[in-house]
Chain A
Amino acid sequence: MSAPGGDVVAAVEDLQVQFPVRTSAGKREVRAVDGVSFEVARGETLGLVGESGSGKTTTGLALLRLVNPSAGTVRILGEDVTSWPRRRLRALRRRVAMVFQDPQSSLDPRHSIGWSIEEPIRVHGLRDGAAARRARVHELLEQVGLPADAAARHPHELSGGQRQRVGIARALAGQPDLIVLDEPLASLDVSVQAQIMNLLRQLQDELGLTYLFIAHDLAAIAHMSDRVAVMTSGHIVETGPAVQVYEHPQHEYTRTLLAAIPADTPAEARRRRADAGQRSPA
């Protein structure tokens, strides 16, 4: 479960996150994350894969303390941030940034793109003066492949893929040590997903970024991740190098998940149906 080599950027141990839920039977506590442990080493991509309700998103949110752990520890760059009070969290959120699933709703519609990208720079005082900040914004736009005049636009003027690039630029603004990407491709068109994946890989190579890549799309996870953690019902059932997990899954659930990956071609699909038909009695 520990990351090979390199220094550890994020380490989670026995993390638990609960939410109160009102049911007809009264109030209950639901454990969205129920004892999760993993590490993310500098420069790598850890893919956290699971279906809906597995708790993967909640885990990602816990790394930024956007939800509060009810038990366990979260260590960022060696510091235990689990119980940090609110006023210290700003420092944490400079070190860990997030890219959200829906690029449309993650950008404030009332502000220009430039303003949204500049926000972290301004909040953390990363540049002196408006001109320096603007220059940094342009630098970031260039890094994510957007034209400089995009800064003046508003989110509704951009396409989904462009908006997600903005989300990535905003996450890069503070030069974070870890970027948590929560289903960054799910709201995008297929042709655009490939662009964004390429961009993320390229940025990682250029800037030495570290990613926690949360998704339910197994093919995307396989493409992006060095190591993979498989999650279900609040637990991680398997962790390991991506190639190994995909080729030699150890856990039953992992195998079920991999088996459900749809076939690439019709011929393959027919073959699988024929196999299934042969195995189970008519």
Chain B
Amino acid sequence: MSEPVFAVRDLRVSVRTRRGLASIVNGVDLTVDRGRTLAVVGESGSGKSMTMLAATGLTPSGVRVSGSARLLGTDLRTMRARKLRSFRGRHAGFVFQDPLSSLNPLMTVGRQIGEAYQLLQGRSRADARRRAVELLGQVGIPDAEQRVDSYPHQFSGGMRQRVMIAMALACEPELIIADEATTALDVTIEAQVIDLVTELQAKLGTAVIWITHDLSVVAGMADDVAVMYGGRIVEQSPVDELFEHPAHPYTKALLGARPRIGDRSPLAAIPGSPPNPLRLPPGCAFYPRCPVRGDARCATELPPLAPVGHEHRARTFYADVADAVPGGSMS
């Protein structure tokens, strides 16, 4: 078994705010292997974005981070700023949610794609331009030769996201991290972007971490899934297993709360709201909203991430893997 491309161990992130200490990420372990896609699923306040930002050294100042994050065996957290920037730029590509604010409106896309390529690999501008055209072609932008000199505002939303992906691929990174990359896109465009990433991954063997709140996106492209809640991973398994035999009550509730076409009966909504990182409950973070509450320890003791199946772990005292989604079948 080869070394995972990216391995995060016991990552913790907190911030001192006016109202107290906010514990945003509380001990996260993740790995993703070559050619695999890990989906990190969670809602707002789950810590899913912050985990990736912290692991890759992109958090703003004032945020406290501990734990290790090994990219290709090297711990990013112990690197000095300049080395981190070049190492990270060379081996990891990022795709963020809003391409409009992630792209410099005053620079052509070709220059932006070429920028990273050039600085990190010591290539010439001509090389960089060639690479940009090549990448634009790879991400499915027609007339790449011409479009390489266009500005971001001249592209549609979906196209801009493709440009972001091209930028992320510029140095042929071993890892791509996409954070809510398709959330702002229309359904039809989203499908195209997901197909694109899947294709590229198959071709280049890139490891992909896909951060999302949308379970259908997960169904469409993930190999493995980690569900986050209250800054912790509450369930981790291969994707099929997660959808067919969800173990954690939160995962089950999430799967069950989705509206299904053809069924107009009231939805199995989860009452309440996601937990406040300033005031995390002592035991299981999901306890206040849990429909099950199946064990006396839930309120006071933090459940460990325990195995509940093959390569399947859940952080709950009440793992009833035999239960599928409440209210009916899945497929």
Say yes or no: A268 contacts B269, CB within 8 Å: no
CB distance from A155 to the nearest CB of B (A): 14
The answer to the question of A52 belonging to the interface, with a C-beta cut-off of 8 Å to chain B, is: yes
The answer to the question of B259 belonging to the interface, with a C-beta cut-off of 8 Å to chain A, is: yes
The answer to the question of A51 belonging to the interface, with a C-beta cut-off of 8 Å to chain B, is: yes
The answer to the question of B127 belonging to the interface, with a C-beta cut-off of 8 Å to chain A, is: no
A222/B186 contact (C-beta < 8 A), A160-B44, A195-B270, A264-B330 known: no
Q: Which of B107-115, B216-224, B314-322 touches A? A: B216-224
Residue of A nearest to B216 (CB): A262
Report chain B residues within 8 Å CB of A191: 43, 253-254, 257, 269-270, 274
The answer to the question of B331 belonging to the interface, with a C-beta cut-off of 8 Å to chain A, is: yes
Report chain B residues within 8 Å CB of A264: 216, 219, 258, 260, 330-331
Query: What is the CA–CA distance of A159 and B253 in the complex, to the nearest angstrom?
Result: 19
The answer to the question of B243 belonging to the interface, with a C-beta cut-off of 8 Å to chain A, is: yes
Q: Which of A60-68, A120-128, A212-220 touches B? A: A212-220
Prevailing SS type, chain A contact patch: helix
Report chain B residues within 8 Å CB of A257: 187-188
CB distance from B67 to the nearest CB of A (A): 26
The answer to the question of A223 belonging to the interface, with a C-beta cut-off of 8 Å to chain B, is: yes
Selected A-B contacts with CB under 8 Å, 9 pairs: A51-B187, A162-B273, A190-B215, A202-B266, A222-B259, A246-B262, A261-B216, A261-B261, A262-B190
CB distance from A54 to the nearest CB of B (A): 9
Report chain B residues within 8 Å CB of A268: 219, 331
Say yes or no: B240 contacts A266, CB within 8 Å: yes
Say yes or no: A198 contacts B269, CB within 8 Å: yes
Query: What is the CA–CA distance of A202 and B221 in the complex, to the nearest angstrom?
Result: 35
Report chain A residues within 8 Å CB of B215: 190
The answer to the question of A265 belonging to the interface, with a C-beta cut-off of 8 Å to chain B, is: yes
Q: Map CB proximity to B onto A218-246 as digits: 1 under 8 Å, 0 otherwise.
A: 11101100000000000000000001001
Question: Size range of the interface on B?
Answer: 35 or more
The answer to the question of A30 belonging to the interface, with a C-beta cut-off of 8 Å to chain B, is: no
A197/B240 contact (C-beta < 8 A), A160-B44, A264-B330 known: no
Report chain A residues within 8 Å CB of B162: none
Q: Report A's interface with B, CB cutoff 8 A.
A: 51-52, 159-162, 189-195, 197-198, 201-202, 216, 218-220, 222-223, 243, 246-247, 256-257, 260-269
Query: What is the CA–CA distance of A190 and B243 in the complex, to the nearest angstrom?
Result: 16
Say yes or no: B43 contacts A189, CB within 8 Å: yes
Say yes or no: B260 contacts A219, CB within 8 Å: yes
Query: Which of B187, B259, B262, B268 is within 8 Å of A260, CB to CB?
Result: B187
CB distance from B325 to the nearest CB of A (A): 10
Report chain A residues within 8 Å CB of B216: 261-264
Query: What is the CA–CA distance of A260 and B186 in the complex, to the nearest angstrom?
Result: 10
Query: What is the CA–CA distance of A218 and B261 in the complex, to the nearest angstrom?
Result: 8
CB distance from A97 to the nearest CB of B (A): 24
CB distance from A244 to the nearest CB of B (A): 12
CB distance from A43 to the nearest CB of B (A): 15
A197/B267 contact (C-beta < 8 A), A264-B216, A264-B331, A266-B239 known: yes
CB distance from B84 to the nearest CB of A (A): 32
Query: What is the CA–CA distance of A269 and B330 in the complex, to the nearest angstrom?
Result: 13
A266/B243 contact (C-beta < 8 A), A189-B44, A198-B269 known: yes
Give 6 closest A-B pairs by Cβ, nearest first: A262-B216, A194-B269, A223-B259, A189-B43, A194-B257, A194-B267
Query: What is the CA–CA distance of A190 and B214 in the complex, to the nearest angstrom?
Result: 8
Query: What is the CA–CA distance of A120 and B191 in the complex, to the nearest angstrom?
Result: 42
Report chain A residues within 8 Å CB of B20: none
Say yes or no: B254 contacts A223, CB within 8 Å: no
CB distance from A263 to the nearest CB of B (A): 5
The answer to the question of B264 belonging to the interface, with a C-beta cut-off of 8 Å to chain A, is: yes
The answer to the question of B271 belonging to the interface, with a C-beta cut-off of 8 Å to chain A, is: yes
Say yes or no: A219 contacts B266, CB within 8 Å: no
The answer to the question of B36 belonging to the interface, with a C-beta cut-off of 8 Å to chain A, is: no
Report chain B residues within 8 Å CB of A222: 259, 261-262, 264
Report chain A residues within 8 Å CB of B330: 264-265
Query: Which of A160, A195, A216, A267 is within 8 Å of B187, CB to CB?
Result: A216
Q: Map CB proximity to A onto B194-236 as digits: 1 under 8 Å, 0 otherwise.
A: 0000000000000000000111110111100000000000000
Residue of B nearest to A189 (CB): B43
Say yes or no: B261 contacts A265, CB within 8 Å: no
Report chain B residues within 8 Å CB of A216: 186-187
The answer to the question of B173 belonging to the interface, with a C-beta cut-off of 8 Å to chain A, is: no
Report chain B residues within 8 Å CB of A266: 219-220, 222, 239-240, 243
The answer to the question of B281 belonging to the interface, with a C-beta cut-off of 8 Å to chain A, is: no
Greatest chain B CB density within 10 A among A159, A160, A262, A263 is at: A262
Q: Map CB proximity to A onto B31-64 as digits: 1 under 8 Å, 0 otherwise.
A: 0000000000001100000000000000000000
Residue of A nearest to B218 (CB): A266
Query: What is the CA–CA distance of A197 and B273 in the complex, to the nearest angstrom?
Result: 15
Query: What is the CA–CA distance of A267 and B243 in the complex, to the nearest angstrom?
Result: 9
Say yes or no: A223 contacts B331, CB within 8 Å: no
